[in-house]
Structure 1
Amino acid sequence: MKRTAVLTLGLALLGTLGNTLAQKTTLTIESWRNDDLKIWRDSIIPAFEKKYPNIHVNFQPLAPTEYNAVLDTKLKGGTAGDLITCRPFDKSLELYKAKQLDSLNDLPGIKNFDAVAKAAWSTDDGKTTFCVPMASVIHGFLYDKAVFKELGLKEPKTEAEFLALLNKVKAGGKYAPLVMGTKDQWESATMGYQNIGPTVWRGETGRKGLISGSAQYNKGGFLAAFQSLAKWKPFLPQGYQALAYPDAQNLFAQGRGAVYPAGSWDIGTFRGMNPKLDLGAFPPYSIAGQKCVIDDHPDIGMGINSASKNKEAARTFLNWVASDEFAQLYANALPGFFPLANVKYTVKDPVAQQFLSWRSQCGKSFRSSYQILSRNDNPNNENDLWNASAQLLNGTLTPQAAADLVQKNLASWYAPQKGK
């Protein structure tokens, strides 16, 4: 009888232990990417849960415009999820400084990211990283292969070849050589100045020089970038001053243009707008013999809510986000958004793969105004670059005047640039 009782008690204890082990930890992810909901639910989360069956993941997106305010309210009220999707640079840095995001320096997977990848989610001194870099977007040029074939054009490698190509398209009169408008201003800087600029200001050397005060917008490579951008003006579509971003996308998607200054995020857009459009891509061209440097701009990361009660499970998830398995899934679910981990993965979309291949061909940096330099509201360095680049292409500012405007405004508030 005693043996039977002990056996019964032992089986009961084992059953209780089994139930405990079988219980799932639920992780909730806060995100602004509500357009990604289906991808997370159908592809990313099932792959993780298959590998880690005791962790359940709930992806909880908000509208992009509401994310910052709602997230702040949730964090202050103690109702935010375990994992916080991180916007690049200052917003996420504010969360870390407020002790709402954990340091991830001791996360094993963080070693898969280099300093450029981590910069958008690290302290100013680079010593502490608080979000795992998930993906970036890459700048370059898309082109219509059918137009290139018709006109006998080749992908340009130098500025001279690029301008000669645009002249040939213009002479034909049938297509817009370079499809971009200036109405919304941001494209002039983002797909213009920040696209070709890193090559002439030598990427990270120039970008960090602005932060330290050793480089200025109206000298050297930063001035040269304005000078090169001004050469685009004769090749923009008729009435480009009134052309908004969606208008330019429509014009190119309809096969009415040859070259489109792009971000890789445009790949998916054009696939949806016109599946028959035969896209090609080439990287920023060499200027004055300089080796190409791409704008590999950080877009999205993920960190741990410091108030989370499920930190071990959250760390497990973030280590997986740093893996080649996640990189493979994410890169193919969202063509044009590229994982930042130094792991091996392949991209099925051929144009997205072209953009990705530039990482091994060119140096890499990111937009000059995004780290530290746009912390002032008015004047704001990012907004100044939009305005100056658009005015330059509209012909209302010379390259020197555009550069002087941006430099003067930066020097008006940013101490390392004062008096320069």
Structure 2
Amino acid sequence: MNYKWSLAGWVGIAVILTGCGGESEEEAATESEDGEVVLELFSWRNGETEEFNRINEEFQQEHPNITIDFQPTTAPEYDTALNTQLSTETAADLFFVRPFALGENIYNAGHLEVLDENDIPNIANITESQLGIYQAENEDLYGIPFNYVSYGFLYNEDMFEEFGLEEPETWDEFFEVLEAIENEGVTPLAIGTADDWVVDEIIANGFYSSFVGGEEWREGLIAGEHELTDPEYVDFLENLTNWAPYMPDNMSGIGYIDAMQMFMAENAAIWVTGSWALTDLAGEPIDFTMNMFQAPMAEGEDTRWVSMNGGAAIGINQDSEHVEEAKLFLDWLVSEDAQGLLADLLPGQFPVGDVPVDELEDPVNQKWLEAGGSADENYAVGVGFDVFNSGEPAMSTLHIENIGPLLQGDITPEEAAERMQEGLSSWYEPMQ
């Protein structure tokens, strides 16, 4: 399978926090008189400076002459900022690369160095499925993946114990749990539709696989053998309509941060989110025991499918003056020692290397990673993450335009499915 692993990606290493703006590419990487090299790394993860400082310290144990200048912006601003920098030749030496079509567009524009095992020997530590996310049609590898993420439910374990509840294994049990929480006067689900990316990535891509039979169905959709109007996909949309009564009353005004704060303040029992949320919550003042459960099984299924996405890769600016030093950093990043370090520093942003699950420090991080199966057999890529975002209207746009109204009760599951299928069929040739 040619997949793996959204949003939430990371990496960066910080010693110096500066802006990324007006210097020329000749100034992007600097070399002092004593041979020390500073490489700029542009990122969309702007809340993890402390962790990245630690990573940089470890990297410099092996390469003391190279410093990574971590320059983050916010995720919503990242793509526009990167495109501006690339077009004005002010881009950093290294920068984050989005999974699938968005990353390949940067490669196709001629901005990324092509990489292989001669450049990055530790590529051997990465599975083919993960590498495939950042390979062009000609199989050129244009970014080194360093994490992936998946989707599920974080819950207040203390509240579950107080209410006499257990983790649901089926969707019927899931709604029984929600009803019981509602009866206790607590909002069951912390999730809303104010942030478009939450609607697309978490809600629409994060839980469909439970109903369609996992990755095989998605591959059939890409081949034109399935449609979004198939009964099993409509069943998923019908399931989403049943979430709505258990979401906040003002769901249209609740964004990602609002949902996180509701969960932290114990104003909601369950947070519908992605695994990267474990990093977002690390160090936050939480006064209860937290746990997670994966998407329940649909009727007739015997596998608990887990939807997942590529977190991020790092690519090398083709115009960097220090390509070789950049390759040293990327090779270190996917070494066994570095992957073990990252797995604990950035919980929920799962390592692409073979890190023993039982060695992870955080038990919730360990449990979430185990949900994918010992050989990743339970994973299915989000339905819209791959080829369906390479044309217009993109699947992400179709999700945003239809899933929100579906949850609000403005359209039916059948209408949402028909609208999204019509949008894809207008440009995606295998569906024509």
Give me the TM-score of the superposition, normalised by structure 1.
0.84
Once the two structures are superposed, the pairs formed by residues 62-73 of structure 1 within 5 Å of their partners are 62-73=73-84
Match of 1:298 among 307, 310, 314: 310
Size of the aligned set, in residue pairs, is: 395
Matched residue SS, 2:48: helix
Q: Distance in 1 between matches of 2:369 and 2:197?
A: 24
> How far did residue 220 of structure 1 move?
4.4
Match of 1:246 among 257, 260, 263: 257
What's the CA shift string for 1:298-345, capped at 9, x where partnerless? 121112222333333222221111122222222322222222223446
Amino acid at match of 1:252: F
Once the two structures are superposed, the pairs formed by residues 6-405 of structure 1 within 5 Å of their partners are 23-40=35-52, 42-76=53-87, 78-106=89-117, 107-124=120-137, 127-170=139-182, 172-184=183-195, 186-271=197-282, 274-288=285-299, 289-344=301-356, 346-360=359-373, 363-377=378-392, 379-405=393-419
What's the CA shift string for 1:172-211, capped at 9, x where partnerless? 3421222322344543443333222123223332222222
C-alpha change, 1:233 and 1:60, in structure 2 (3 Å) is closer
CA contact (8 A) 2:198 2:255 kept: no
> How far did residue 356 of structure 1 move?
1.6
Instruction: Name the stretch that deviates more: 316-325 or 301-310.
Output: 301-310
Q: Distance in 1 between matches of 2:253 and 2:91?
A: 42
CA contact (8 A) 2:107 2:142 kept: yes
> How far did residue 43 of structure 1 move?
0.5
> How far did residue 283 of structure 1 move?
0.7
C-alpha change, 1:169 and 1:103, in structure 2 (3 Å) is same
CA contact (8 A) 2:187 2:248 kept: yes
Instruction: Name the stretch that deviates more: 336-345 or 277-286.
Output: 336-345
Q: Distance in 2 between matches of 1:189 and 1:78?
A: 32
2:406 aligned with 1:413: no
Amino acid at match of 1:350: P
Q: Which structure 2 residue ranges, 5 or more long, are not aligned?
A: 1-33
Q: Distance in 2 between matches of 1:167 and 1:370?
A: 32
What's the CA shift string for 1:349-373, capped at 9, x where partnerless? 3322221221226611322112221
Amino acid at match of 1:233: A
Q: Which structure 1 residue ranges, 5 or more long, are not aligned?
A: 1-21
What's the CA shift string for 1:94-117, capped at 9, x where partnerless? 222233212223332223223432
> How far did residue 151 of structure 1 move?
1.0
Identity among equivalent positions (%) equals 28
CA contact (8 A) 1:28 1:57 kept: yes
Q: Distance in 2 between matches of 1:187 and 1:64?
A: 13
Amino acid at match of 1:121: Y
Q: Distance in 1 between matches of 2:74 and 2:246?
A: 37
Q: 1:19 corresponds to which residue?
A: none
C-alpha change, 1:193 and 1:69, in structure 2 (3 Å) is closer
Amino acid at match of 2:360: V
Q: 1:9 corresponds to which residue?
A: none
Q: Distance in 1 between matches of 2:197 and 2:39?
A: 37
Amino acid at match of 2:379: K
Matched residue SS, 1:49: helix
Amino acid at match of 1:85: F
Matched residue SS, 1:232: helix
Give me the TM-score of the superposition, normalised by structure 2.
0.82
CA contact (8 A) 2:279 2:349 kept: no
C-alpha change, 1:312 and 1:247, in structure 2 (3 Å) is closer
C-alpha change, 1:258 and 1:74, in structure 2 (3 Å) is closer
Amino acid at match of 1:135: N
Matched residue SS, 1:192: helix
C-alpha change, 1:51 and 1:383, in structure 2 (3 Å) is same
User: Based on CA coordinates, which of the two structures has the bigger radius of gyration?
Assistant: 1
C-alpha change, 1:178 and 1:68, in structure 2 (3 Å) is closer
Amino acid at match of 2:385: Y
CA contact (8 A) 1:182 1:394 kept: no
Matched residue SS, 1:280: strand
C-alpha change, 1:189 and 1:29, in structure 2 (3 Å) is closer
CA contact (8 A) 2:46 2:74 kept: yes
Amino acid at match of 1:357: E
Matched residue SS, 1:290: coil
